[in-house]
Amino acid sequence: MRLFGLWTWIWTTFVVSVLSQQGILDLVARRMPNHVNAFEFQLTGNESLPIKSSSILTNDKYGISSTTNGKILVEGNSLSALASGLHRYLTDVVHVDIWWFIGSQLDVGNSTLPLLATPLNGSSIVPWRYHFNTVTFSYLAAFWTWDDWELQLDWMALHGINLPLAWVGFEKTLVEVYREIGLTDSEILEYFSGPAFQSWNRFGNIQASWGGTLPMEWINNQFELQKNITKRMVDLGMTPVLPSFAGFVPEAITRVLPNATIVTFTSNWGSFPAPYTNPLFLEPTDPNFAILQNSFISKQTAALGNITHVYTLDQYNENTPYSGDLDYLRNSSYSTLQSLKAVDPDAIWMMQGWLFFALSSFWTDTRIEAYLGAVEVDTNMLILDLISEDAPQWQRTNGYYGKPWLWCQVQDFGGNNGLYGQIENITINSMEAFANSSSLVGFGHTPESQEGNEVVYDLLLDQAWSASPIDTKAYFANWVSRRYSGNGVIPSETYAAWDILRSTVYNNTNASILAVTSSILEKSPSANNMLLLPDCTGPDSRDLAYSPADLISAWNLLFNASKTNPALWNNPGYAHDITDVTRQVLANNFTDIYLSFISTYNSSAASNATLSPIASNMTSLLTTLDNLLLSLPAFSLSTWLDAAHAWSTNTTLQAFYDYNARNLITLWGPDGEITDYASRQWGGLIGTYYKPRWQIFIDYVLVTPVASYNDTELKTKLRTFEDSWQVAGANGTAVMSRIAEGEELKGVIGAVVSNWGVAFGI
């Protein structure tokens, strides 16, 4: 338990919801319909009361036992504790779980659930477990439906998450606020960014939209989705973190508030040109800021209910403040908090600590202390140490000068698919922070997307329930047992494969590699060594934190496991993993072929006769990789595009959504401002976008001597193709995919082994 007086208010707002166990019972009915009557849930002890009698913020506790009438009894002091206890029983006793992409496998266990001879108990070491990055709502969930959210929320509840960010449909409330002060719909809507880019509009990084205007149809539908999301969060014992008014305003605001104190950020975010960047900012010290804040939160509460007092509010995320003067920074943060308190006296301001890392040249220790210090009561603020696994800021700020904060991992930038993890940082460094900072109140996920490496995310959430660093060897073995359950005996090769992955791929100790890596096959081609280009450092690194040979060894073991137990091909967990690992093996090999190609091109032996066979290997590998990834919906471009189209029956809007979906994962901007940052290794994307780009590169190189090579000339040719691809789906049709299952996937993987095994040394 950690003392943070005042936080008891979180529970006072949903007495009825917390005392009701219906949300947990409904979860069981959704995911384990044949076992609805096998469980009993009970909130126990005085700590289960939503109104605390002390100023102590209590950790969650659960106990699991068998009853005399043969049921599994889960007791806990909160709904989140009950869900966590249920998950513990299912994973450790029944060996089943719920997963991203492959869905719930909670019902594949024995028809009769095992009883417990000895009770199981658990206690969280921190009161909060957080999930989501502001940009996750674009890179991952831009086009999610309620079905997608239902799976995500059940996964979150069972993994103990009790403090999730929830700001789908934010624009609906903002429209109503702006209408109230006299802005027209056209003035409002032309300020908003497209469906896939709303996160950065909310951050004040970009404004307006390219390719079309955000329609009210989208805004209204998203807010209806938000109502379902927040209700389910509360039903499952979570405290939603809701949006608030941050201060970014449309240019037309000067018409209705001509005397307001409004400044313009000059960050030129992402090198975007006007009119897409540097939005206007209403200073928090201006009285109109508090008026708009009151209007926003009041309208939001009326629509969603009095379900939280935690509000996300980031004003300077990758935006340089108008002034570095200490008094200016103090007044800004002080006024911001007061605007929240004026409408909700119990309000807590949650912000991401990313700004202190991303703009560290501006945010000196003195400025950070001034900005945070203006929030006089520490517990009125909650800070996400956004990238604790790589660039923790809690140390340089002395635990954020006493403000409660959460140890978080980004892990994935932009939604790249590379295999990657930092299990030592997750287990050891997080516990060192826990031991050395009394203001640490939680662990959290802040990924930009969730494209893979699920074991890493599970590990951090489970570390929140362990007072010492988790033994990763035993943990990975248990994870494999539940990952591949349901199809007979799990071969020993799978455990051996994942132990190699644990000690190599998921054990990055290279400080220069910050997150999930991307492959050069996803990047705009060049005859200059792409591994050495300046933009290949930092989050967009293409360096590997492991030896490719180790990955091949793991891949070989994983593939051979299917020979020991052919039923694995019908296991959705195995199907996903063998596809994912094969994908990475091929992607790594593409780099080797590329390096051979440019080495030959730059040598005296360069000729069409020497270059063409290597080029053929490059395109052949891309074809193989495309066919592989089309095997599963999780790796298919059509899944992303179909989801975008489904948000409207209007063909014009479908074309707009399609363009947004395509642009985010390729050019990222009207003129490729952040090109390939959010690249994905997806079937259909490789075949229709990456492979044609590489063919343009090959065709150019084969007719251009080294002395005449011009990268700018090549880029012009590539951009002509890239621009045309952005609108290739204007008719609303998706890239067709071939979804393979079972025996067909076996054949696809078998062909990879047959055709490329020699190259991989197997």
From the number of C-beta atoms within 10 Å of its C-beta (0-12, 13-18, 19+), residue 336 rates as buried
Q: How far apart are CA 410 and CA 358, in angstroms?
A: 13
Q: Which runs of consecutive H residues, i.e. helices, occur in 504-571?
A: 548-564
Please, what's the b/e burial string for 241-264 (b: 16 or more CB within 10 A of its CB; e: otherwise)?
A: bbbbbbbbbbbbbeeebeebebee
pLDDT confidence tier of residue 7, bands split at 50, 70 and 90: very low
**How much is the average pLDDT of 4-33?**
67
The overall pTM is greater than 0.85: yes
Q: 657: which residues sit within 8 A by CB, 6+ positions away?
A: 143, 195, 644, 645, 647, 648
pLDDT above 80 (res 676): yes
Q: 338: which residues sit within 8 A by CB, 6+ positions away?
A: 290
Q: How far apart are CA 738 and CA 639, in angstroms?
A: 11
3-state secondary structure 173-203: HHHHHHHHCCCCHHHHHCCCCCHHHHHHHHC
CB 414 within 8 A of CB 381: no
* Mean pLDDT over the full length of the chain: 93
CA–chain centroid gap for 40, Å, is 33
**Which one is predicted more confidently, 466 or 510?**
466
Residue in this structure with the two tokens 């103090």, named with its chain if needed: 330
Query: What pLDDT is recorded for position 109?
Result: 84
Q: How far apart are CA 6 and CA 225, in angstroms?
A: 32
Give percent helix, percent strand, percent coil of the chain, each to the nearest 5: 50, 10, 40
CB 169 within 8 A of CB 154: no
Domains of the chain: 2-123 (3.30.379.10), 128-376 (3.20.20.80), 494-760 (1.20.120.670)
Name the percent of the chain lying above pLDDT 90: 87
Tokens of 557: 């073991």
Query: What pLDDT is recorded for position 427?
Result: 98
Q: Are strands 128-131 and 242-243 parallel, antiparallel or unpaired?
A: unpaired
Query: What pLDDT is recorded for position 743?
Result: 67
pLDDT confidence tier of residue 536, bands split at 50, 70 and 90: very low
pLDDT per position as a tens digit, 396-412: 999 999 999 999 999 99
pLDDT confidence tier of residue 186, bands split at 50, 70 and 90: very high
Q: Which H/E stretch holds residue 164? A: strand 163-164
pLDDT above 80 (res 640): yes
Q: How far apart are CA 179 and CA 171, in angstroms?
A: 12
pLDDT per position as a tens digit, 212-250: 999 999 999 999 999 999 999 999 999 999 999 999 999
DSSP string, 121-137: EEE-SSSEEEE--TTHH
pLDDT per position as a tens digit, 245-265: 999 999 999 999 999 999 998
pLDDT confidence tier of residue 756, bands split at 50, 70 and 90: confident
pLDDT per position as a tens digit, 702-723: 999 999 999 999 999 999 999 9
pLDDT per position as a tens digit, 84-136: 999 999 999 999 999 999 999 999 988 899 999 999 999 999 999 999 999 99
